[in-house]
Amino acid sequence: MPTNVFLLALAAGLISATVFASATTGAFLLRIILFLLTPLSLYLTGLGLGPIAAAIAAITATVGVLLFANPLAAEVYAVSTALPAVICTRLALLSREVDGEREWYPIGRIAVTAAIFSGVFAALALLMMGGNVETLTKLLRTVIEAFVKNELSQIPGAPEIGPAEIDQITQSTLFSLPWALGLLAMGTILLNLWLAGRITLASGRLQRPWPDLSMFSMPGGATFVLLIAIALSFVGGLAGLISAGIAAPFTLAFALVGLALIHSLTRGSQWRTFILTAVYVGVLFVPHIGLLLALTGLAETVFRYRSAGKPPEASS
């Protein structure tokens, strides 16, 4: 490996570790942005310099987090940030010759890999926060009570929240927590992979052609994983919460398939800009639109409307 590539990989790892450490301090919004962009330098290294450089950067970053923080933080970083960056960028650069043409590793399978990593992260996070539902519930209640006492009470005109309301908020948070963890992990991986791809493409260092994201699709087997995970999320207990954490990233992946389908079907339409704007704005403010996109993505995966060249027909 050339010395300059090795040094760039080391620098990328140190940058990621520094951003990770910086995400623990400062204003809340700034911390969120830094957390989301923590792995960006690793993805840039993987797509621009190759998988070996990405591995060097990931190891450097993990060691840096170990020195900046503690072993537990380093383990979480390795599983949730470093390893997905190395594997996903490696898969993005895989290709083979088919009938004299270069075929690249499908984007949908990369999304499945990202969803698996995200599900594992959600499961590990739930296990670390509490090995059972009772412990996790007590932890969430303590956090909510502290927020109500120390933060909400300082806001003028804030409503009074008693023990009964805290119990309701705790149960609601317990239900939504695994979904939030899975979606956050999946969103972070896909956001950084996309950003790194656009940056390396603009710099001329992207080692593969830019894919047509309007043709993004998921392998059929992912449908069964999602449906089984959703079914198991209703069994209750820690197993149900972990299943929800696995279902969340796959749901996001299928929602992206639904979004890609809309992009594909509106090509050439004079209403394209209006439709896409309405969908994107709606996703930000109406969560149920995301669910509708996921259902659309499931239907596309099963029936392959784009391949048939026709939009989905309304059921009677």
- In this prediction, residue 37 carries a pLDDT of 87
- In this prediction, residue 311 carries a pLDDT of 46
- In this prediction, residue 154 carries a pLDDT of 64
Strand, helix or coil for residue 155:
coil
* Confidence band, pLDDT 50/70/90 cuts, at residue 149: confident
Name the residue with tokens 């060249």: 309
Phi, psi (5° rounding) for residue 25?
-135, 165
Distance between CA atoms of 303 and 262, rounded to whole angstroms? 15
- In this prediction, residue 224 carries a pLDDT of 94
Phi, psi (5° rounding) for residue 102?
-80, 120
Which tokens in the block code for residue 85? 């960056």
- In this prediction, residue 314 carries a pLDDT of 42
Distance between CA atoms of 17 and 263, rounded to whole angstroms? 37
CA angle 201, 205, 77 (to 5 degrees): 85
Beta bridge partners of 98: 101
Which tokens in the block code for residue 297? 């993505």
CB atoms within 10 A of CB 283: 16
Q: Domain ranges for the chain, please list them.
A: 1-93, 108-189+209-316
CA dihedral 179, 32, 34, 74 (to 10 degrees): -50
**221-247 tens-digit pLDDT:** 999 999 999 999 998 888 999 999 999
CA 130 to chain centre: 23
- In this prediction, residue 118 carries a pLDDT of 95
Q: Answer whether residue 316 shows pLDDT above 60.
A: no
Q: Which is more confidently placed, 153 or 52? A: 52
